[in-house]
Amino acid sequence: MPLSQTIATRTFRKTADTFAAGAKTLEQKYFVSPEVFAEEQEKIFSKQWVLVGHQGELAKAGDYLVAEVARESLVIVRDKGGEVHGFYNVCRHRGTRLREDRNGRLSAIQCPYHAWTYGLDGRLLGAPHMDDVPGFDKADYSLHAVNLALWEGFIFVNLGDSPTPLEEWFAPLAGKFSHWNLAKLRSAKRIEYDVRANWKLMFENYSECYHCPGVHPMLSKVSPYDSAENDLAKGPFLGGFMSINKGRSLTMSGDACAFPVKEEEEEGEEEKQRVFYYSIFPNMLLSMHPEYVMVHQLWPQSPERTLILCDWFFHPEAFDRADFNPDDAIEFWDMTNRQDWHVCELSQQGIVSRVYEPGPYSSRESIPAAWDREYLRYMR
Amino acid sequence: MPLSQTIATRTFRKTADTFAAGAKTLEQKYFVSPEVFAEEQEKIFSKQWVLVGHQGELAKAGDYLVAEVARESLVIVRDKGGEVHGFYNVCRHRGTRLREDRNGRLSAIQCPYHAWTYGLDGRLLGAPHMDDVPGFDKADYSLHAVNLALWEGFIFVNLGDSPTPLEEWFAPLAGKFSHWNLAKLRSAKRIEYDVRANWKLMFENYSECYHCPGVHPMLSKVSPYDSAENDLAKGPFLGGFMSINKGRSLTMSGDACAFPVKEEEEEGEEEKQRVFYYSIFPNMLLSMHPEYVMVHQLWPQSPERTLILCDWFFHPEAFDRADFNPDDAIEFWDMTNRQDWHVCELSQQGIVSRVYEPGPYSSRESIPAAWDREYLRYMR
Amino acid sequence: MPLSQTIATRTFRKTADTFAAGAKTLEQKYFVSPEVFAEEQEKIFSKQWVLVGHQGELAKAGDYLVAEVARESLVIVRDKGGEVHGFYNVCRHRGTRLREDRNGRLSAIQCPYHAWTYGLDGRLLGAPHMDDVPGFDKADYSLHAVNLALWEGFIFVNLGDSPTPLEEWFAPLAGKFSHWNLAKLRSAKRIEYDVRANWKLMFENYSECYHCPGVHPMLSKVSPYDSAENDLAKGPFLGGFMSINKGRSLTMSGDACAFPVKEEEEEGEEEKQRVFYYSIFPNMLLSMHPEYVMVHQLWPQSPERTLILCDWFFHPEAFDRADFNPDDAIEFWDMTNRQDWHVCELSQQGIVSRVYEPGPYSSRESIPAAWDREYLRYMR
């Protein structure tokens, strides 16, 4: 029996999702045009709040990470007072890249070329042989700062001039995830994926499980593809939850692999057997399982290429327990991620064709359709 | 004694070829300009009949091959009634590439993403969860078809809207090659070459043996470079034959390597000792030897790069005989091909220079000159 | 104690260099724009005298080297009368590249495609089958020549139509280096570097030692970074000398590694302990040490990539002496070169940022500032 038959004969629950009927996929230009890509980088990635990491990566004063946003390299660093700053990774003297590693710890930011030295707050502290340059004032040569704020422990930056404050942007989600302890989680592993597909295909892929029976046989066994219930169906934050079969977990073994993430007392049995999937516009995928949280960062590199960083976060107390087996979850999702990237790459290949035209979304693709609508709002 | 002297002192037979006197090579832009390349892809490779394979590759129902024409991926498949179809390799749902392998056998064409399923005739048979989409009709979502027809067993496609029928296009060659049994031959080997040169340089190279003494010492020993007689000297089909020395063959050993391709009774002794070389505009080179037929497909990738597929075809009865030694021919021409691609690459390198200007064709380069003229007709 | 402090507390000698106060680095476009790059190739590399090698590479008649200037491949060859010629590496027949190796020896220049043969003076000597082409005259098909002249044994070419004679261009340096025996030196080694930075960054890097304490700890120990004295501070030739500590040499061991380059009798003890650094616009760096001369050729490949050829020259009599240890110098400078290219690459990375803006040169960066001014003169 061919696969398509198998799917068609399963029972199908009508939900609010069906409002997407009539919606079609985006036009070709949004997936292939360098002009559209440049516009996205300008209107979205240079103006919106984008995820660059988690505060757990900057545990102590002087800890830094380097992120790349809209082709800009940024140094994100915790200062001695505990505050996190973001700076362009560019010396004010001759423009030299200051830090070329991905992360580390330092007491000051010193340029490797002529040793100009900046404090962790970005102020220029030392500049050899500049004293005799008439009119030179160190105060004029602080590092260029970038807007930075935290949400549930995640670090967001915004390259815009006067962005909406982050709390205002996240107001629709206020309190929604507070019992997940997101701010104190720690990443056990990061995997980077270099995907030959437009970044929007990954959002559209993440936002439906219509593809799960064919693409993810193992996932589909543990979490029924048609169990999805969406509670955010409009706007920049989209998603909901799916069921996990009783007594099972999204791991290779099918068993829970760590101490639970959430406060136990607050939830019922049913809620424990759920996985929550939310896309946070424009570059975050937040997947919350009972015992771990997976977070994807999406970094468009070109119309046809996207860098994806995927972290697996656990409760800080989970790490030292005997039942801690993070690889069981990491391996499961690494396999599942690669299945997804592969079909995204196949979509990219087909969409470049002269015969491609927007195709009809099914009733199970209401969230991709909602994501497309939201995306188009920013591109106007 | 330098090589040029050796050549100059050989006897030279005046033929009709000398009408090319005064002709010069093409202007630089035809070899380097991205605009000209785009124009070629549009006016020639998207409008003319181009070779994509041989029916022998699709022996049974469900056999398919994937070809790329003018950046379009196509699925060429034999249906259950024996008919060969060509489809764009693009799902009508979300544009996904349907088949990513080069060939195989299947009973239906199913999309790897959401399992939409098409028949071998392109009709949409199954599309899960689409029934409740108002107005959705499977009949509107057949695969996009491409024009396809056969000539002497070779499969040609045409991306144009309403092309000249293939029989009409090939009318000038009607019957000319019928005793060669081309339709029933089978390929023993395919080799791919990635050549850093404009595709037209390979046609110009194929169309003369003026270069043979210096470039192909082994070929020149068995088939005198000045024995060429052209019987097609104008239009999209160009070429003629050269002599093979008595008792020799174009193989590494110099001996015949297989059962003859042609019906024996029809030909005289002299014709048996000939190799026939024809270029079929715009992407086929057809080289017919007494015991094998070599066919090149030329696939321009950029102004400065061409993918070449080369097949060696033999009589179907040759394969099971004790005297079948295809490698003897394959190795001979693989060596000779590489010698040709190398000088084509050297030409590409020189032609980009600011001092390049069209140079004078000699009396032995009438066919390259005729090919250039034909090419320019399509570019008008 | 941080490095910047160490530098700031050292004594600083005021010199004529301080006139650069107020100068800033070049605007971003000069380092990243493809349009500026094309303009440089046209206005500078296609119009000025550029270094391509040294006469020592062409010791005998027929010796040749192949150089690439402004994307043009050139054959530089010594003829039987001892004269050195430069030709475009392009056959006059079908444009084929004539020589694809980097150097060698030959008695005539024969095209590998159709065996057209040219003398070492560029005249077409043989062209098979061209005699019966009406109006064909070998005299019309000599190789295209390029302007070529020698300065102190170094070979310069100029792609312009009627350039300033080389002697006139080098008039400001007449006699200045004559006691260095440059014309008769021989290269012991060439190293190629593929640097991901704009070519101008290498000139700016070469022209100051402000970066030496941090970037070149080993060099700084033997040759104090603040010992620089410039005697050419304006125009296309810039530089001066730095001190070498008494009894030391710029080698890994710190000992002299070869017989001295200069005539001994002419110099005093102090001059023996100096290294002379000159930049010769637009592509030569000339670094003269007591016992060896290092020469860099800079070849811009794109706005963000430069090929650098570095030769180490020694007195011809040095090679056969027991104390000849060229690797001691080569290894020292190969290490130092790589330190420089690395910071140049970091500068390139930072300069592409949207926040980059010209930064203030210090009092120790007067020569980079003078080089920038000279460069801008040619770009007007």
Pick the CATH number of A3-46+178-379 from 3.40.50.10860, 3.40.50.12780, 3.90.380.10, 3.40.50.300: 3.90.380.10
CA–CA distance, A351 with B113 (Å, rounded to integer)? 13
CA–CA distance, C76 with C150 (Å, rounded to integer)? 12
Q: Which residue of C has its CA nearest to B340?
A: C113
Contact call for C359 and A97, based on CB within 8 A: no
Q: Pick from B347, B361, B371 the residue to mutate for testing the C interface (most C CBs within 10 Å).
A: B347
User: What pLDDT was estimated at residue C266?
Assistant: 58
User: What pLDDT was estimated at residue A271?
Assistant: 73
Check CB contact of B246 with chain C, cutoff 8 Å. Answer: no
Q: What is the overall mean pLDDT for chain A?
A: 93
Q: Which fold has domain A50-162?
A: Rieske Iron-sulfur Protein (2.102.10)
pLDDT bin (cut points 50, 70, 90) of residue B14 is very low
Enumerate residues 301 to 360 of chain C having a beta carbon within 8 A of any beta carbon in chain A: 343, 346-347, 349-356, 359-360
User: What pLDDT was estimated at residue A264?
Assistant: 65
Model-wide pTM > 0.90: yes
User: What pLDDT was estimated at residue B132?
Assistant: 87
Examine the pLDDT at A4 and tell me if it is beyond 60: no
Q: Which residue of C has its CA nearest to B361?
A: C93
- Tell me: the pLDDT tens digits for B150-185? 999 999 999 999 999 999 999 999 989 999 999 999
Q: Pick from B349, B366, B372 the residue to mutate for testing the C interface (most C CBs within 10 Å).
A: B349
Which of C91, C93, C115 has the CB atom closest to B3's CB atom?
A: C115
- Tell me: the pLDDT tens digits for A131-189? 989 999 999 999 999 999 999 999 999 999 999 999 999 999 998 999 999 999 999 99
User: What pLDDT was estimated at residue A270?
Assistant: 72
Distance from CA of A7 to the nearest CA of B (A): 6
Domain with CATH 3.90.380.10 in chain B: 3-46+184-379
Q: B with C: how many residue pairs have Cβ under 8 Å apart? A: 109
Contact call for B95 and A3, based on CB within 8 A: no
Q: Which residues of B touch C135 (CB under 8 A)?
A: 22
Q: Pick from C4, C202, C215 the residue to mutate for testing the A interface (most A CBs within 10 Å).
A: C4
CA–CA distance, C105 with B35 (Å, rounded to integer)? 40
Q: Tokens at residue A312, please?
A: 């697996």
Which of A4, A5, A21 has the CB atom closest to B116's CB atom?
A: A4
Enumerate residues 55 to 94 of chain A having a beta carbon within 8 A of any beta carbon in chain C: 71-73, 88-94
Q: Which residue of B has its CA nearest to C96?
A: B347
Q: Which residues of C touch A96 (CB under 8 A)?
A: 343, 346-347, 349-350
Separation in Å, CA C248 to CA C216, C219, C228, C291, C335: 16, 11, 17, 12, 18
Q: Which residues of C touch A98 (CB under 8 A)?
A: 350
Examine the pLDDT at A21 and tell me if it is beyond 90: no
Check CB contact of C97 with chain B, cutoff 8 Å. Answer: yes
Q: Pick from A354, A361, A371 the residue to mutate for testing the B interface (most B CBs within 10 Å).
A: A354
* Amino acid (one-letter) located at C280: I
Examine the pLDDT at A101 and tell me if it is beyond 50: yes
Whether the upstream peptide bond of residue B282 has omega within 30° of 0, thus cis, is yes
Separation in Å, CA A356 to CA A28, A347, A371, B43, B93: 7, 10, 20, 21, 10
From the CB of residue B99, how many other CB atoms can be counted at a distance below 10 Å?
A: 22
Percentage of residues in chain A with pLDDT exceeding 90? 90
User: What pLDDT was estimated at residue B21?
Assistant: 58
Contact call for A117 and C364, based on CB within 8 A: no
pLDDT in tens, chain C (380 residues): 343 433 333 333 334 444 455 899 999 999 999 999 999 999 999 999 999 999 999 999 999 999 999 999 999 999 999 999 999 999 999 999 999 999 999 999 999 999 999 999 999 999 999 998 999 999 999 999 999 999 999 999 999 999 999 999 999 999 899 999 999 999 999 999 999 999 999 999 999 999 999 999 999 999 999 999 999 999 999 999 999 999 999 999 999 999 999 876 555 677 789 999 999 999 999 999 999 999 999 999 999 999 999 999 999 999 999 999 999 999 999 999 999 999 999 999 999 999 999 999 999 999 999 999 999 999 99
Contact call for C97 and B356, based on CB within 8 A: no
Long-range contacts of A262-267 (CB under 8 A, 24+ apart): A262/A179, A262/A180, A262/A181, A262/A290, A263/A179, A263/A181, A266/A179, A267/A179
Among residues C321, C61, C73, C69, the alpha carbon closest in space to that of C188 is found at C321
Do the beta carbons of residue C326 and residue C188 sit within 8 Å? Answer: yes
User: What pLDDT was estimated at residue C276?
Assistant: 97
Q: Which residue of C has its CA nearest to A126?
A: C4
If you average pLDDT over residues B33-56, what whole number do you get?
98
Question: Half-sphere exposure of residue B144, counting CA atoms within 13 Å on the CB side?
Answer: 21
- Contacting subunits of C (3+ beta carbon pairs below 8 A): A, B
Distance from first CA to last CA of chain C, Å, rounded? 46
Q: Which residues of A touch C215 (CB under 8 A)?
A: 112-113
Among residues C149, C178, C145, C152, the alpha carbon closest in space to that of C165 is found at C149
Mapped onto helix, strand or coil, the DSSP state of residue B135 is: coil
Distance from CA of C106 to the nearest CA of B (A): 12
CA–CA distance, A365 with B175 (Å, rounded to integer)? 56
From the CB of residue A269, how many other CB atoms can be counted at a distance below 10 Å?
A: 7
Pick the CATH number of C3-46+177-379 from 3.90.380.10, 3.20.20.80, 3.90.226.10, 1.20.1250.20: 3.90.380.10
Contact call for C115 and B7, based on CB within 8 A: yes
Does the domain spanning B3-46+184-379 belong to CATH 3.90.380.10? yes
Contact call for C355 and A144, based on CB within 8 A: yes
Contact call for A7 and B115, based on CB within 8 A: yes
Domain with CATH 2.102.10.10 in chain B: 50-162
CA–CA distance, C14 with B380 (Å, rounded to integer)? 70
Q: Which residues of A touch C353 (CB under 8 A)?
A: 72-73, 88-90, 95
- Tell me: the pLDDT tens digits for B91-103? 999 999 999 999 9
Contact call for A350 and B144, based on CB within 8 A: no
CA dihedral C311, C315, C317, C322 (to 10 degrees): -70
- Contacting subunits of A (3+ beta carbon pairs below 8 A): B, C
Q: Which residue of C has its CA nearest to B14?
A: C132
Question: Half-sphere exposure of residue C161, counting CA atoms within 13 Å on the CB side?
Answer: 0
Distance from CA of B127 to the nearest CA of A (A): 7
pLDDT bin (cut points 50, 70, 90) of residue B4 is very low
CA–CA distance, B201 with B347 (Å, rounded to integer)? 8
CA–CA distance, B250 with C344 (Å, rounded to integer)? 57
CA–CA distance, B69 with B88 (Å, rounded to integer)? 10
- Tell me: the pLDDT tens digits for B237-260? 999 999 999 999 999 999 999 999
What is the dihedral sign for C-alpha B222, B228, B229, B235? positive
From the CB of residue C271, how many other CB atoms can be counted at a distance below 10 Å?
A: 12
Which of B71, B96, B117 has the CB atom closest to A346's CB atom?
A: B96
Among residues A263, A269, A314, A312, the alpha carbon closest in space to that of A291 is found at A314
Contact call for C214 and A90, based on CB within 8 A: no
Among residues C57, C96, C48, the alpha carbon closest in space to that of C77 is found at C57
Check CB contact of A217 with chain B, cutoff 8 Å. Answer: no
Radius of gyration for the alpha carbons in chain C, expressed in angstroms and rounded: 23
Enumerate residues 146 to 185 of chain C having a beta carbon within 8 A of any beta carbon in chain B: none
Q: Tokens at residue A228, please?
A: 């999805």
Lowest-pLDDT choice from A18-27, B265-274, C13-22, C120-129: C13-22
Q: Which residues of B touch C120 (CB under 8 A)?
A: none
User: What pLDDT was estimated at residue C147?
Assistant: 98
Contact call for A204 and B108, based on CB within 8 A: no
CA–CA distance, C330 with C313 (Å, rounded to integer)? 10
Cα C295 versus chain centre, distance: 6
User: What pLDDT was estimated at residue A20?
Assistant: 53
- Tell me: the pLDDT tens digits for A41-95? 999 999 999 999 999 999 999 999 999 999 999 999 999 999 999 999 999 999 9
Domain with CATH 3.90.380.10 in chain C: 3-46+177-379
pLDDT bin (cut points 50, 70, 90) of residue A276 is very high
Examine the pLDDT at A9 and tell me if it is beyond 50: no
Contact call for A350 and B97, based on CB within 8 A: yes
Among residues B363, B184, B158, B345, the alpha carbon closest in space to that of B263 is found at B184
Question: Half-sphere exposure of residue C225, counting CA atoms within 13 Å on the CB side?
Answer: 27
Q: What is the overall mean pLDDT for chain B?
A: 93
User: What pLDDT was estimated at residue A26?
Assistant: 98
Contact call for A97 and C346, based on CB within 8 A: yes
Give me the helices (H) in C29-87, please. Answer: 29-32, 34-40
User: What pLDDT was estimated at residue A1?
Assistant: 34
Residues 6+ apart with CB under 8 A from A250: A219, A222, A223, A244, A275, A289, A329, A332, A333
User: What pLDDT was estimated at residue A272?
Assistant: 80
Which of B128, B133, B141 has the CB atom closest to A8's CB atom?
A: B128
